[in-house]
Structures are given as structure tokens and as C-alpha cells.
């Protein structure tokens, strides 16, 4: 009996095996598991998946993170309600991270199209070598954004012809998973919220204005023509603090560079009006499709993937479990490439609620994120940028509505 996994991922099979597969192969020797890597040359996951299906490839279990997961299923009409199977196989969703379950129920209209198996947590990474170089004390758990910004200003310096900058975030991720749970769109009205929800100004000012006003930071923005991110922190190593998710130390392409300098993490900075609240969760859902051949067998596999044994195994390898028991937290990272980091920071804050989303939400997110750089470098004031973002977002919404299946 063959069970086919496909996640629209360009990662090779050995990455899937390490992240998800190896324990499944041991637990279910009676099944043959097949992993499909996303075909190259397709501009989107939907295009790549369409190509596979057209070629006659069956997909038994589809997986991806929130947004991509449901939109791909809906675009290709592959979604399958697992509610009856969940009951039949006694899969207890109440044990899992509940914001992920609420979000799934929202985009599934009360059905069960996916089960969250892993998550992506946001923390504040910092380069100890840069702090040591300038004699500045390391960041601590529990900082506010204002405290992190002020600390970052001490590290924005030109030294030996190299411009160091203090604090940065990844626009598309931090806007999508913002800690204040500001919705990108009003799904009842099919309208962007960039100009109607005042919290967007606070978010953009906090993340892309206040930390980046120093002349040296502006010079860096002019040089690289983007908000400093993975390349600055991991490769160039001229970014002192980077608010981002766990991808930078679990991705095979980043691990060698991350092993070349001294880094650690603390809790993501918080807003005073939302103390103890981290970013929104970014669950990776796994769901059966309408094509699934052996549905009961696939349901048993999913049940095992949210069990204590499997979730502890996932946690040891550095992938955030959605079963956040004390045991899975304690196990976290023990078998990762970096077993001795401040991983407690991952679990100290509660996740921000995930606001309702639609099939156009992530297209709108990309529009909002595109305004971070012009606002940061001062080429656009916030009023102008937000007005342009609203116009472009409306176009994305209308485009998505035209493409919907009748």
C-alpha cells in the first residue's frame, strides 16, 4: 500500500525524511511512502501541482503552511473534509495548538481540511560576535520593541569599512504574523484594512521606521535596496539582531553559515499593549485530498503524526511541535544542528490569534510588505505608501475573485 506525500516543496527527499519521514517509515513498515519534490520550472505551487495531476500523479497527503495550504487545495478543488475520519480514528485535536485549529476551522468553513503537525515560531536572533565587538550587552528575554530598537541603535556603526546595523525584521513574515492580530483584509467587505485600521501605522512605525532612521542604516538600505534579512544576518553577518522564525537554523542551505558565527536567541520583542504575546502561529497543515486512495490508512498516519511520540521526535530535531506539552518543549532541539541555544524563548509567549483570511489574503500581504522599504528609507511617507498599497490590494482582491471557481 502506497501513501504519497506532496507539499509543494523544493526541498529534496532527505530533508523531508529528516523532518517528517524517518519515524513514519519505522512505525508503518507495511506501507510504502513516496515523497514528491515540487517540479522545477513552475512559477507557483498551484501551477506545479496542476502539472503533476495532469501527468496522472496521485496526492494522498498534501501539506504546507497556512495560506499556501488551503489556497492550493481550493484552487485545484482537492480539499477533503476529514471530520468523519477524525472521529472514526479518535484523533484528538483539542491537544494541539488551538489558534491553528481555530484558523483551520475558519478557512474550512467549519470542516476539517487539515491537521497542524508542525509550526514556525518567531524569536529575536542575535549575533554575539557583533555585540562583543562593540562591547554591548546581549539582549534579554522579555524586551519590548522600544527596548530592542534602542539596543539596536548602539550597534548601527561603520567599522573597518563595514556598515553594521542593529535591528531588522522580515516584512512579509512579520506583517502576515503580526503580534497585534491586525487583519490584512476585511473578508466580509472584501476590502484591505491598511487605511482603515490605525494599528498598521503602529506596526510599520515600530518595525520599519524607528529601528532604521540612523544615517548608517539608511546608507545600508540604499546599498542593498531591501530590508536587511536572511542574507544580512546569516551570510554577510552585519546585522546584529534579526526578528525571524526558526527557518534560519533548520534549513539545510543556512546551517553551514549559521555554524560559522556565535549566535543565540531571545523572545521576540513585544508591544506594551500586548504583553506576553508573540507572533501569530504559522502552522503546517497536513490533509487528505479528494484523490487519496487509502483514506483510513492515511488517517492513521496523520493520527500518529500528532501523537506524543512523533511530536517529541519532531521537537528534538528542531521543528516546532503543535503538541506543546512540557515534554515536547523539554525535548526541543536536542538532535538539531544547534543543541545548546536558548530554545526556552520559543515557548515563553502565547501565540497571537490568527485573524480571518480569504483566498487573496497572502497576495495582499505581499503588497503591504512591498511598502516596508520605501517607508524605511524615507522615499515615501506613510500616507502615500498606504494609499498606494490600498489601490494595489484592491486589484489583488478583484483578481482573486475573478479566478474563483463557480
Q: In what order do the strands lie in the sheet with 165-169?
A: 165-169, 239-245, 122-127, 263-267
Q: Encode pLDDT of 117-134 as tens digits.
A: 999 999 999 999 999 999
Q: Is the pLDDT of residue 398 over 70?
A: yes
Work out the average pLDDT over 219-232. 96
- Nearest-CA neighbor of 261 among 126, 156, 122, 163? 126
When pLDDT is cut at 50, 70 and 90, the band that residue 406 belongs to is low
CA separation for the pair 68, 8 (Å, rounded):
9
Residue 346 within any structural domain of the chain: no
Outline where 66-161 has alpha helix (H).
68-76, 83-88, 98-107, 128-134, 145-153
Report the first-to-last Cα separation within the chain, whole angstroms. Answer: 35
110 and 53 together in one domain: yes
Are 168 and 273 found together in one domain? Answer: yes
Pairing of strands 239-245, 122-127: antiparallel
On whether residue 345 sits in a domain, the answer given is: no
Cell numbers representing residue 231 in the block: 542574507
Q: Are residue 148 and residue 253 in the same domain, yes or no? A: yes
Per-residue pLDDT for 87 more than 90?
yes
Same domain, 196 and 80: no
Q: In this structure, how many other beta carbons lie within 10 angstroms of the beta carbon of residue 63? A: 25
pLDDT in tens, 315-348: 999 999 999 899 999 999 999 999 999 999 999 9
What is the SS3 string spanning 208-246? HHHHHCCHHHHHHHHHHCCCCCHHHHHHHCCEEEEEEEC
What is the pLDDT confidence band of residue 86, given thresholds at 50, 70 and 90? very high
Report, as an integer, the average pLDDT of 110-116.
97
Q: Is the pLDDT at 378 greater than 80, yes or no?
A: yes
Which residues in 39-60 are b (16+ Cβ under 10 Å) and which e? eeeeeebbebbeebbeeeebbb
Q: What is the pLDDT of residue 394?
A: 97
| Position 381 pLDDT exceeds 70 | yes
Query: Do 229 and 370 share a structural domain?
Result: yes
Q: Please give the C-alpha separations between residue 180 and each of 104, 172, 175, in angstroms, as whole numbers.
A: 20, 15, 10
Would residue 82 count as lying in a domain? Answer: yes
Instruction: Output the pLDDT for position 292.
Output: 97
Give me the domain span that covers residue 161.
123-279+354-403
Per-residue pLDDT tens over the stretch 63-83: 999 999 998 999 899 999 999
In a domain, 136, yes or no: yes
| Residue pLDDT, tens place only, 157-171 | 999 999 999 999 999
Is residue 97 assigned to a domain?
yes
Task: Say whether both 288 and 271 belong to one domain.
Answer: no
Same domain, 94 and 159: no
pLDDT at res. 350? 95
- Beta-carbon neighbour count of residue 110 at 10 Å? 9
Query: Which residues lie below 8 Å from residue 290, measured CB to CB, with a gap of 6+?
Result: 77, 78, 79, 80
User: What's the gap between Cα 357 and its chain centre?
Assistant: 15
Provide the percentage of residues in the chain whose pLDDT is more than 90.
Answer: 91
On whether both 301 and 312 belong to a single domain, the answer is: yes
- How many Cβ atoms from other residues are within 10 Å of residue 128's Cβ? 13
Parallel, antiparallel or unpaired: strands 2-6 and 239-245: unpaired
CATH code (residue 302): 3.40.190.10
Query: What whole-number distance in Å separates Cα of residue 115 and Cα of residue 299?
Result: 10
pLDDT band at residue 405 under the 50/70/90 scheme = low
For residue 172, count other CB atoms closer than 10 A to its CB.
Answer: 16
Q: What is the mean pLDDT of residues 83-95?
A: 97
Q: How many CA atoms lie within 13 A of 132 on its CB side?
A: 7
319: phi then psi, degrees, rounded to nearest 5: -100, 130
The verdict on 291 and 273 lying in the same domain is no
Compute and round to an integer the Cα radius of gyration of the chain. 21
Residue 341 belongs to some domain of the structure: no
CA–CA distance, 321 with 121 (Å, rounded to integer): 10
Q: Is the pLDDT of residue 40 over 80?
A: no
Number of domains in the chain: 2
* Burial (CB count <10 Å: 0-12, 13-18, 19+), residue 11: middle
Beta-strand pair 2-6/263-267: unpaired
Provide the 10 A C-beta neighbour count for residue 84: 11
Report yes or no on 363 lying in a domain.
yes
Which pLDDT belongs to residue 42?
73
Assess if residue 262 is contained within a domain: yes
Residue 362: pLDDT band (50, 70, 90) is confident
Same domain for 272 and 324? no
Claim to verify: residue 72 and residue 114 sit in the same structural domain? yes
Residue 79's region, left for phi above 0, alpha for psi from -120 to 50, else beta, is: beta
208-219: average pLDDT: 96
Residue 404 has pLDDT above 90, yes or no: no
Q: What is the pLDDT of residue 236?
A: 97
Mean pLDDT over all residues of the chain? 95
- 54 and 188 in a single domain? The answer is no
> d(Cα 145, Cα 171) in Å, to the nearest integer?
15
What is residue 324's predicted lDDT score, i.e. its pLDDT? Answer: 87
Cβ neighbours around 399 below 10 Å, total: 11
Q: How confident is the model at residue 93 (pLDDT cuts 50, 70, 90)?
A: very high
377: confidence class by pLDDT, cuts 50, 70, 90: very high
Amino acid at each position: 500500500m502506497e501513501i504519497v506525500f506532496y507539499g509543494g516543496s523544493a526541498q529534496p527527499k532527505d530533508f523531508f525524511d529528516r523532518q517528517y519521514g524517518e519515524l513514519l517509515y519505522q512505525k508503518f513498515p507495511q506501507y510504502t511512502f513516496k515523497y514528491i519534490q515540487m517540479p522545477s520550472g513552475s512559477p507557483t505551487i498551484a501551477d506545479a501541482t496542476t502539472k503533476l495531476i495532469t501527468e496522472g500523479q496521485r496526492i494522498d497527503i498534501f501539506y504546507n503552511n497556512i495560506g499556501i495550504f488551503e489556497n492550493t487545495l481550493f484552487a485545484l478543488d482537492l480539499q477533503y473534509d476529514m471530520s468523519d475520519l477524525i472521529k472514526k480514528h479518535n484523533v484528538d485535536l483539542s491537544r494541539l495548538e488551538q489558534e491553528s485549529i481555530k484558523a483551520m476551522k475558519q478557512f474550512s468553513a467549519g470542516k476539517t481540511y487539515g491537521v497542524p503537525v508542525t509550526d514556525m515560531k518567531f524569536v529575536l536572533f542575535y549575533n554575539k560576535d557583533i555585540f562583543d565587538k562593540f562591547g554591548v550587552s546581549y539582549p534579554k528575554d522579555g524586551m519590548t520593541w522600544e527596548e530592542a530598537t534602542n539596543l539596536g541603535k548602539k550597534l548601527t556603526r561603520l567599522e573597518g569599512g563595514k556598515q553594521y546595523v542593529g535591528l531588522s525584521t522580515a516584512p512579509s513574515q512579520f506583517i502576515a504574523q503580526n503580534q497585534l492580530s491586525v487583519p490584512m483584509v476585511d473578508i466580509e467587505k472584501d476590502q484591505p484594512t491598511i487605511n482603515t485600521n490605525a494599528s498598521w501605522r503602529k506596526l510599520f512605525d515600530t518595525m520599519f521606521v524607528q529601528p532604521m532612521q540612523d544615517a548608517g542604516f539608511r546608507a545600508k538600505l540604499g546599498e542593498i535596496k531591501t530590508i536587511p534579512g536572511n542574507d544580512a544576518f546569516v551570510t554577510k553577518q552585519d546585522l546584529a539582531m534579526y526578528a525571524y522564525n526558526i527557518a534560519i537554523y533548520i534549513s539545510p542551505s543556512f546551517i553551514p553559515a549559521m555554524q560559522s558565527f556565535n549566535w543565540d536567541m531571545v523572545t521576540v520583542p513585544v508591544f506594551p499593549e500586548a504583553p506576553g504575546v508573540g507572533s501569530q502561529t504559522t502552522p503546517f497543515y497536513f490533509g487528505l485530498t479528494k484523490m487519496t486512495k487509502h483514506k483510513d490508512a492515511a488517517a492513521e498516519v496523520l493520527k500518529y503524526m500528532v501523537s506524543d511520540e512523533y511530536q517529541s521526535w519532531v521537537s528534538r530535531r528542531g521543528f516546532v511541535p503543535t503538541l506543546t506539552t512540557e515534554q515536547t518543549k523539554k525535548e526541543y532541539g536536542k538532535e538539531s544542528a544547534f543543541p545548546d541555544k536558548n530554545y526556552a524563548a520559543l515557548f515563553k509567549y502565547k501565540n497571537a490569534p490568527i485573524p480571518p483570511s480569504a483566498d487573496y489574503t497572502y497576495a495582499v500581504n505581499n503588497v503591504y510588505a512591498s511598502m516596508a522599504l520605501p517607508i524605511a528609507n524615507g522615499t515615501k511617507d506613510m500616507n502615500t505608501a498606504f494609499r498606494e498599497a490600498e489601490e494595489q490590494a484592491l486589484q489583488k482582491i478583484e483578481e482573486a475573485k475573478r479566478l474563483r471557481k463557480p
